[in-house]
Amino acid sequence: MIITVTANPSVDRTIVLDQPLSPGKIQPITAVSVEAGGKGVNVARAIHQAGRNVRAIVPAPPGDLFLSLLDELGLTYTSVHVDAPTRMNLTICGHDGVITKLNELGGPYTSAQVQAFTDLVVEAALGASWIVLSGSLPTGMPAHWYSDVIPVLRTLGCKVAVDTSHEPLGALAERFPASAPDLIKPNSDELAQLSGMDAAQLEADAMQGNMEAIVNAATDLTNQGVDTVLVTLGAAGAVLVNAETALWASPPKVDVKSPIGAGDATVAGYVMAHESGADLDACLATAIAYGASATELAGSAQPNPEHVNPAYVDVKSW
């Protein structure tokens, strides 16, 4: 069983325009989608669509639209009662390919609700193969929540993956190695935050096929206790580093419709492959194949297994 944890879930509304977004003007909408979202929920959706055992842990008030959307998906979940309605995120896709995201903060949650959520996460981790902690944290939940709960989870026998950013990521890194997870998945901006490097330079290096600085930054994280670092680099692919090896994967060519949720699909692919006993090369290839396939779908939709072909991903040692 894989458990995903989404402390700050969302109802994701995506609108598509037939022209570039023009602030201050009235524009027609050509398509609309509404989905249950939040990074951990996206991971759970991908795993569920693959027919694997997964359960999502989320906070939500009873009768909330978010829970109804989960029910429509047939996704197994457990929710902690909170008072605040699930936040609504808006994505605007212009005809020129420019995507604008407007995200609410989420919450506020009381200290009692945060404790109830924490207790549920720890309970759910018992007997799990992986527990995936993803996304931002809502108002009322301390920025160090991830770094508080990971040391507890590491005593329960499950693997722990983390995908977060900004203040929660910084608070997590401050407590390495005690809070170091088995897998962390930064993008170039998040790796720059962790390493003090320049994100634009890391991206430029990656596009030129020069992964040395990225591998060095990821290696520094493994030296701080993280078992495996999976750095996603968009069209430049991804780098995976652990104590023994460094791998670089080039993604297949895809017709990008939306990058939203691609990182979550990448995490789902990696965790599913690892749970199945795949070697590191295959875990990376599956992760990148899932992420690439997600970009070909509208909004934050997640790929079905028939959309995914790891054989098209080129994996090499760095």
- In angstroms, the CA 113 to CA 96 distance is 43
Q: Are 265 and 219 in contact (CB under 8 A)?
A: no
Please give the structure tokens belonging to residue 284. Answer: 């990376």
- As a three-state string, the secondary structure of 44-70 is HHHHHHCCCCEEEEEECCCCCHHHHHH
Give me the helix-helix angle, 145-153 and 166-174, nearest 10°: 50
Query: 55 and 45 in contact (C-beta within 8 Å)?
Result: no
Angle (deg, nearest 10), helices 262-275 and 280-295: 150
- Residue 260: the pLDDT is 85
Dist. CA 316–CA 314, nearest whole Å: 7
Residues 6+ apart with CB under 8 A from 18: 28, 30, 95
The dihedral region occupied by 292, where left means phi > 0, alpha psi between -120 and 50, and beta the remainder, is alpha
State residue 300's pLDDT score.
80
- CA angle in degrees (0–180, nearest 5) for 65-66-70: 115
Q: Which two tokens stand for residue 120?
A: 């549920």
Torsion angle, alpha carbons of 55, 59, 60, 61, to 10:
120
| pLDDT in single tens digits along all 318 residues of the chain | 999 999 999 999 989 898 888 888 898 999 888 999 999 999 999 999 999 999 999 999 999 999 999 999 999 999 999 999 999 999 898 877 788 889 999 999 999 999 999 999 999 999 999 999 999 999 999 999 999 999 999 999 999 999 999 999 999 999 999 999 999 999 999 999 999 999 999 989 988 889 999 999 999 999 999 999 999 998 899 999 999 999 999 988 888 887 888 999 999 999 999 999 999 999 999 999 999 999 988 778 899 999 899 999 999 998
In whole angstroms, give the CA distance from residue 261 to residue 19.
23
Q: Which CATH superfamily is domain 2-317 in?
A: Ribokinase (3.40.1190.20)
| 56 in Cβ contact with 6 (< 8 Å) | yes
pLDDT for the residue 98: 84
Q: What are phi and psi of 54, to 5 degrees?
A: -145, 145
* CA atoms of 293 and 305, how far apart (whole Å): 10
- The set of long-range contacts for 310-314, using a CB threshold of 8 Å and a minimum separation of 24, is 310/282, 310/285, 310/286, 311/285, 312/252, 313/249, 313/250, 313/251, 313/252, 313/284, 313/285, 313/288, 313/289, 314/249, 314/250
Task: Give the start-to-end residue ranges of the domains of the chain.
Answer: 2-317
Residue 293 is encoded by which pair of tokens? 């396939």
What is each CA distance from 228 to 191, 218, 220, in whole angstroms?
13, 9, 11
Contact between residue 280 and residue 247 where contact means Cβ atoms under 8 Å apart: yes
φ/ψ (deg, to 5) at 117: -65, -45
pTM of the full predicted structure?
Answer: 0.94
